[in-house]
Amino acid sequence: MRFLWFFILGWQMLWSADATLDIIKNIEKLPSVAVRYLKNSQEPYLAKIYAMLLTDLKISNHVKTIELGAQAEQINYSALQAKQASLLVSLRVDKLGQVNVRFYDVAHQSVLGIKDYTFNQKPLYPFIAHRVAIDINDALKAPPIAWMARFVIFAKYIKPGVTKISIADYTLTYKQDIIDNGMLNVFPKWANAEQSAFYYTQYLHHPTIIKYNLRDGTSEVITQSEGMATVSSVSRNGRKLLLTLAPNGQSDIYLYDTAKKNSIRLTKYQGIDVLGNFVGNEKGMVFVSDRAGYPNVYFKKLQPDAPIEQVVFYSKNNDSVAASGNNIVYVSRENRDENGQISFNLHFITLKSDYVRRLTASGINQMPRFSQDGKAVMYLKKASQQSALGVILLDYNQSYLFPLEGVQIQAFDW
């Protein structure tokens, strides 16, 4: 199956750097951004893009939004100044499939920039909003929010023995099935920063790791193993992989070179070693092992004979881990609460400190995944009635949940 997932963004930029800086210099609190779209626009998705853009800006925590809704083309600067707006973002459509965005400096009543966003598939409209939000954020010189434009890839259960692999935007508004073959397809993992390919495990005669190219629809078998075969971590340049394989019944972690197509066994333990994650400058890894009699997080340099060190000393049931640089998020099973429910909570630590920061307080929170810049963590929150994907902004201690309506996720990557 061939699936062309990418969409085209064309633009003309006319930013005035000095005027943009003036907005930041003159306001000590969060800048107020007014957002509107023009009435009688040809594009039926424009109102949806407008609503999604407001959501993105609010989630960024970098601006205060002023919702103007649909308006006529003429700008009422006096009304905007009364609302203390610093920047006006105006969405319009001059031709189908292309959204024109104009940015105005309210104080100087002048145009800061004009940009056109073109998309070739209507369901991809959330990404137009995400791109506009990123551009607004960058123009205001706020901390990056590029993670908003990345795809989430996940395996979802269909029926016993059958899963599909799909991609979505971070809000789950856009969703598209990619692997739909009536088989068990699990553990998807992005193969590169560009998100043009991914790895997944397909259960054939043996669990088999496959690399799928989204641009041309081709597949390549990487390796297979009798008991278990998954990709748990990909290096930044995409050349090295950490695999969990179980050729002899017990799972161990292997370092795989995609150019040389060979692997080195990093752990040799008669138990469970899984979920290897590159850390630091990719000279080491953290992973989960039961070598102490219960699942916990350990560190090891990427040499077969390197010693293994315990990383987490809080709790005695830490069964999942993710890493970004020297930062680590792990899942800890905790005691029953006052309602008799067992909680699985996320905790943040760094290899350079003993400080433990709790990210969630209750419920079942699993499968943490860092954003590419390490500033946010996505995770799966499970509930009896409904599950959701959660996003935690680490710098702001803010979290958001996006419901998974009728979807059961086996695993995901961001």
Domain membership of residue 9 (yes or no) is: no
Q: Which of 146, 173, 191 is the last residue of a domain?
A: 146
Tokens of 182: 């009536």
Domain membership of residue 5 (yes or no) is: no
Do both 247 and 122 map to the same domain?
Answer: no
Please state, in angstroms and rounded to a whole number, the distance separating the CA atoms of residues 131 and 9. 9
Q: Which of residues 274 and 44 earns the better pLDDT score?
A: 274
Give the model's pLDDT for residue 336: 74
- CA neighbor of 135 nearest in space, from 6, 11, 27, 36: 11
Domain membership of residue 11 (yes or no) is: no
- How, if at all, do strands 87-95 and 32-38 pair? parallel
Sequential DSSP letters for 109-170? TEEEEEEEEE-SSGGGHHHHHHHHHHHHHHHTTPSP-GGGGSPEEEEEEEETTEEEEEEE-T
Please state, in angstroms and rounded to a whole number, the distance separating the CA atoms of residues 70 and 47. 8
Sequential DSSP letters for 197-235? EEEEEEESSSEEEEEEETTT--EEEEEE-SS-EEEEEE-
Q: Which of 146, 171, 196 is the last residue of a domain?
A: 146
Lookup result for tokens 């760094």: 350
Do both 141 and 188 map to the same domain?
Answer: no
State the CATH number of the domain containing residue 199: 2.120.10.30
Domain membership of residue 261 (yes or no) is: yes
Do both 140 and 164 map to the same domain?
Answer: no
Give the model's pLDDT for residue 340: 75
Residue 158's pLDDT band (cuts 50, 70, 90): very high
Give the model's pLDDT for residue 22: 38
Tokens of 24: 């930041």
What is the total count of domains within the chain?
Answer: 2
Q: Which of residues 29 and 199 earns the better pLDDT score?
A: 199
Give Cβ neighbours of residue 289 (< 8 Å, ≥ 6 apart): 267, 269, 271, 272, 273, 274, 295, 296, 298, 308
Q: Is the model's pLDDT at 125 over the cut of 90?
A: yes
What average pLDDT does the chain have?
Answer: 90
Q: Is 114 exposed, middle or buried (0-12, 13-18, 19+ CB in 10 A)?
A: middle
Give the model's pLDDT for residue 246: 95
Q: Is the model's pLDDT at 15 over the cut of 50?
A: no
Domain membership of residue 12 (yes or no) is: no
Do both 224 and 116 map to the same domain?
Answer: no
Question: In which element (H, E) is residue 175 found?
Answer: strand 175-179
Do both 157 and 130 map to the same domain?
Answer: no
Residue range 184-223, pLDDT digits in tens: 999 999 999 999 999 999 999 899 999 999 999 999 999 9
Residue 18's pLDDT band (cuts 50, 70, 90): very low
Residue range 309-319, pLDDT digits in tens: 999 998 889 99
Do both 205 and 263 map to the same domain?
Answer: yes
Q: Which of 146, 170, 203 is the last residue of a domain?
A: 146
State the CATH number of the domain containing residue 63: 3.40.50.10070
Domain membership of residue 4 (yes or no) is: no
Domain membership of residue 203 (yes or no) is: yes
Residue range 79-102, pLDDT digits in tens: 999 999 999 999 999 888 889 999
Do both 287 and 349 map to the same domain?
Answer: yes
Centre a 10 Å sphere on the Cβ of residue 223 and count the other Cβ atoms it contains: 20
Do both 186 and 134 map to the same domain?
Answer: no
Residue range 212-229, pLDDT digits in tens: 999 999 999 999 998 899
Give the model's pLDDT for residue 3: 41
Q: Is 243 exposed, middle or buried (0-12, 13-18, 19+ CB in 10 A)?
A: buried
Give the model's pLDDT for residue 301: 98
Centre a 10 Å sphere on the Cβ of residue 21 and count the other Cβ atoms it contains: 13
Domain membership of residue 273 (yes or no) is: yes
Do both 109 and 175 map to the same domain?
Answer: no
Tokens of 142: 């706020």
Tokens of 359: 């990210």
Residue 62, domain extent: 17-146
Q: Is 374 exposed, middle or buried (0-12, 13-18, 19+ CB in 10 A)?
A: middle
Please state, in angstroms and rounded to a whole number, the distance separating the CA atoms of residues 206 and 203. 6
Do both 91 and 217 map to the same domain?
Answer: no
Do both 236 and 310 map to the same domain?
Answer: yes
Give the model's pLDDT for residue 114: 95
Q: Is 352 exposed, middle or buried (0-12, 13-18, 19+ CB in 10 A)?
A: exposed
Give the model's pLDDT for residue 8: 36
Do both 115 and 186 map to the same domain?
Answer: no
* Mean pLDDT confidence for 284-288: 99
Please state, in angstroms and rounded to a whole number, the distance separating the CA atoms of residues 405 and 387. 8
